[in-house]
Structure formats: structure tokens, C-alpha cells
Amino acid sequence: MLTPQHLYSEIPPTKIRNREEKFRKAKNVPFWHFMGNFIFFSMIKNRFYSLMYKNLENFEKRNKNFATVFYAPHSNWWDGMLGYIVIYFILRKTGKFRMRLMIEEMNRFPLFQYIGCFPINKKSAQSAMKSLSYAADTLKDPDIAFWLFPQGIIRPPHHRPEIFQSGLAYMAKNAAKKFGGVNLIPVATNYTFLRQDRPEILLEFGEPEVITNPEFDRKEFTHRHERAFEEFLDHQQNNISRGDFSGYEYLYKEKLHWWRQIESKLKSIGIKNKEI
């Protein structure tokens, strides 16, 4: 039986299970994208009161000649689905993009291959490098939007300090060397209860960083981005804790149920009576 002490592990699932993962190249099949859009968005809307995003205009500051890597924290089961929603609902405001996402234990979800996903097997360093090499090669096209969790494993919400594995630095270096450059955009995500009976999702896009020079030290690059990403996430959390939601837009917001509408009307009656 899983206990609270065992909710998070430093050992990747594929290494714990010691199973071989069949490598599947990512594909983009319109039918499965339609199904993914419908199913994932319905699941998000069913569980969360709203989804808000902020500073999408930062995406327009990228170098449009290069692919874009979005990197976000990984704290729960919804994160990968949220990445898909971002690319196919939010980025659609600015154009069409093909998603790429690495998934551990993708043999459990082989159909994800057809919506732009591919597996990463951390059973061995050689298997993991095969996926990272493939990931870097997918960045040759400017319409690629790669969603990456640089921590490499699921960590508790608001885990500090931020600890990245080497994947972000490896992909940035190889994309700069092979294709001339790549855009890196941090994304802060927050799942929280506000004034409603269900949690809400808040997304904030950071400023893009265009990497064109591959001559950098990967360890120094990783440590620098860990600290900058941590500050970015803390800034979002501080704004939320102060009730500062300026700049956020709704991707969707649930309509109030009838009992909440009655509650709202009763509150407004109470306010009017006080004014009288």
C-alpha cells in the first residue's frame, strides 16, 4: 500500500519497473489530435473551475526562425495534459504548432504517439540519451512547440530548490549547433483554490531566451536556469498570495451552477440592504 512517505521518489518509474520501452517516433495525425483536444479539454473543464493564462505576448517575442521549448514544473498528473492544452488551445491564437512531449512509460499510452509524444526510458543512460538525441533533432522546424519538464521527475508542489536534469541544456546546445538556435520560454503553473468550490489553473509565460551560441558549459547553464526559473515561479506564487491577478485572461471559466447563482443573488441583496 502506498503511504504518504512514498508519494515522491527520486528514482524514475521506468528504472523502478526495469522494463524495456519500445521507442516510438512522434507523429501528428489530425484525427487523434481532434480526439486529444476533445478528451483532454473536457477532463480539464470537468475538474477545474477555470484556466487562466498571462503574458502570451511573450511568445510573439521569440525568434520565429527557430523552434520553441517551453519548460514548466512537474508536480502532478495533470501537467502533461496541461501542456497539450496550452499548445492546441492557447498558442492557436498566434498560429498552428506541432507539439512534442517526452513521456515515461509511454507503452501504457501508445496512442499518444499520434499526438506528438514519444517515450523516454530512464532504465539506462543509453536509452535516455536516445530519446534526448531524438528530442534535439525534432527542433529543426520553427513550428515545433516542445513541452519539457526539466526536473525529469515529479516533485512536490513548490519544491525548493529547483533541480534540473541535463535535458534542457543538452537540447539547447544541440539545437544551436545543428539548426542555428532555439527559443526557451519558462512557464509558471499553479493549481490553487481561489473563491470557488473547485481549484483553478493559472499559467504565466516568461520572456523568451534565444540560444544561438552552442559554446556554453552545460552545468553552468543548468544552474543558472534553475535559479532563474525558481525566481519566476516564486514571483507568480507571491502575486497569487497577494490577490494580484492583473494581466490574466480566461481560456475558459465555468458557468455558475443554479445553487451558486442563488447564493450570488442573496449576497447582492445583502449588499444592497447595507447600502440603504
Q: What is the pLDDT of residue 48?
A: 97
Average pLDDT, whole number, for the chain?
A: 89
Please check whether residue 112 is in contact with residue 119, taking contact to mean a CB–CB distance below 8 angstroms: no
Top-confidence residue, 85 or 266: 85
Answer yes or no: is pLDDT of 276 > 60.
Answer: no
* Other beta carbons within 10 Å of 45: 16
Top-confidence residue, 145 or 273: 145
Residue 268 CA to residue 265 CA, distance in Å, equals 5
Give 89: exposed, middle or buried? Use CB within 10 Å, 0-12, 13-18, 19+: middle
Top-confidence residue, 267 or 66: 66
Name which of 90-94, 145-149, 197-201, 250-254 the model is least confident about: 90-94
Give 70: exposed, middle or buried? Use CB within 10 Å, 0-12, 13-18, 19+: buried
Q: Angle formed by the axes of helices 167-179 and 125-137, to 10°?
A: 40
Q: What values do phi and psi take at 264, rounded to 5?
A: -60, -40
Name which of 14-18, 116-120, 183-187, 227-231 the model is least confident about: 14-18
pLDDT band at 139, cuts 50/70/90?
very high
Which whole number is the average pLDDT over 64-69? 97
Q: Is 197 helix (H, G, I), strand (E, B) or coil?
A: coil
Question: Amino acid identity, residue 149?
Answer: F
